[in-house]
């Protein structure tokens, strides 16, 4: 749980620092460039410690992790935060704990109670209503909200699969191989963005980019995937419930964003729904549902 908290604390600054970076750097460069820098660190760490290569289907699972947390989440959030506040993004991303628990359920082929799907659906509805109200009316979603929701799906899949894969490859090894695997694509995207719009930013914006590359994209996953590997994934993912609170606080302190009642109420509603979904997911099955054979004593 402490490892999970350390990872969440590191990730809580991702949205505010992305908001800082997009003020001077192209979103495509931020989303891809941070992965290139992190991949260089990851490749060096893998080479120096002489880590064994993933085998067989592990490469496909590494690709799933890379698609979610190396490619999908960074790019989608970078583009979304060019036109929306960091606190707004934090509320939408607050759906992530429930989404991660849902991905773990689907990945593990579990059959959670109907209540799990109900509260997860209510959480998704709460996010939709919040985004609609702030976008100008019910049923109206800004394109940035769609990108943020897409980033939630991408991260949830990457978190769930990465947590399982970390039990086989190791925590930092999992994110490192994902970064290395995605590096050719991200290098091409970063080069194309730099050629079209040469990077030009203030020292503060470059510092924010550096945090995104070194901590959000690399070091934060050391603790996060290790916590998920020890697991269970759905229990450790509960710690994500404090991430939007931290992120909104950072947005107010670092960016001077005002905390409105709609943001506070929207964030509270989503957090409560996510907490309920995770708790229902973790609730043990009643003893009456146990198969009689499972009640027999174990013989030596």
What's the pLDDT at 172? 87
Query: What is the CA angle 106-100-107, rounded to 5?
Result: 20
Q: Residues 122-156: pLDDT tens digits? A: 777 777 677 666 655 555 567 888 898 899 999 99
Q: Tell me what pLDDT residue 141 has.
A: 63
pLDDT, tens only, 182-203? 999 999 999 999 999 888 889 9
Check: pTM over 0.75? Answer yes or no.
Answer: yes
What CA–CA distance (Å, rounded) separates 220 from 214?
8
Torsion on CA atoms 43, 47, 53, 59, rounded to nearest 10: 0
The pLDDT tens digits for 20-72 are 999 999 999 999 999 999 999 999 999 999 999 999 999 999 999 999 999 99
User: Coil, strand, or helix at residue 84?
Assistant: coil
Which pLDDT score is estimated for 38? 95
Between residues 255 and 120, which one has the greater pLDDT?
255
Q: What is the predicted pLDDT for the residue at 164?
A: 85
In three-state secondary structure terms, 159 is helix
Q: Please measure the distance between the N-terminal and C-terminal CA atoms of the chain and give it in whole angstroms.
A: 35
Provide the percentage of residues in the chain whose pLDDT is more than 70: 85
Render pLDDT for 70-115 as a digit per residue (tens, 0 to 9).
Answer: 999 999 999 998 888 887 787 788 778 778 878 877 887 767 777 7
């Amino acid at each position: 749980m402490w490892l999970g908290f350390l990872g969440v604390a590191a990730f809580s600054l991702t949205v505010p620092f992305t908001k800082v970076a997009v003020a001077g750097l192209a979103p495509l460069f931020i989303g891809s460039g941070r992965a290139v820098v992190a991949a260089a660190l990851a490749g060096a760490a893998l080479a120096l410690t002489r880590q064994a290569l993933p085998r067989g289907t592990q490469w496909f699972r590494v690709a799933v992790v890379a698609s979610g947390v190396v490619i999908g989440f960074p790019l989608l959030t970078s583009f979304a935060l060019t036109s929306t506040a960091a606190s707004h993004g934090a509320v939408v991303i607050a759906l992530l704990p429930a989404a991660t628990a849902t991905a773990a359920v689907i990945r593990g082929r579990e059959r959670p109670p109907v209540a799990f799907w109900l509260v997860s659906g209510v959480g998704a509805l709460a996010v939709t209503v919040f985004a609609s109200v702030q976008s100008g009316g019910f049923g109206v979603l800004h394109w940035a909200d769609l990108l943020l929701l897409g980033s939630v799906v991408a991260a949830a899949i990457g978190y769930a699969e990465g947590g399982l894969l970390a039990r086989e490859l190791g925590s930092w090894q999992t994110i490192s191989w994902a970064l290395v695997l995605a590096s050719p694509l991200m290098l091409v995207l970063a080069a194309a963005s730099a050629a079209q719009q040469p990077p030009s930013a203030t020292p503060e914006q470059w510092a924010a980019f550096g945090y995104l590359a070194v901590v959000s994209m690399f070091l934060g996953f050391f603790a996060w995937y290790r916590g998920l590997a020890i697991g269970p994934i759905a229990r450790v993912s509960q710690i994500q419930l404090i991430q939007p609170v931290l992120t909104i606080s950072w947005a107010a302190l670092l960016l001077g964003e005002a905390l409105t009642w709609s943001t506070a109420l929207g964030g509270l509603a989503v957090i409560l729904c996510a907490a309920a979904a995770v708790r229902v997911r973790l609730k043990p099955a009643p003893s009456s549902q146990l198969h009689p054979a499972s009640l027999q004593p174990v013989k030596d």
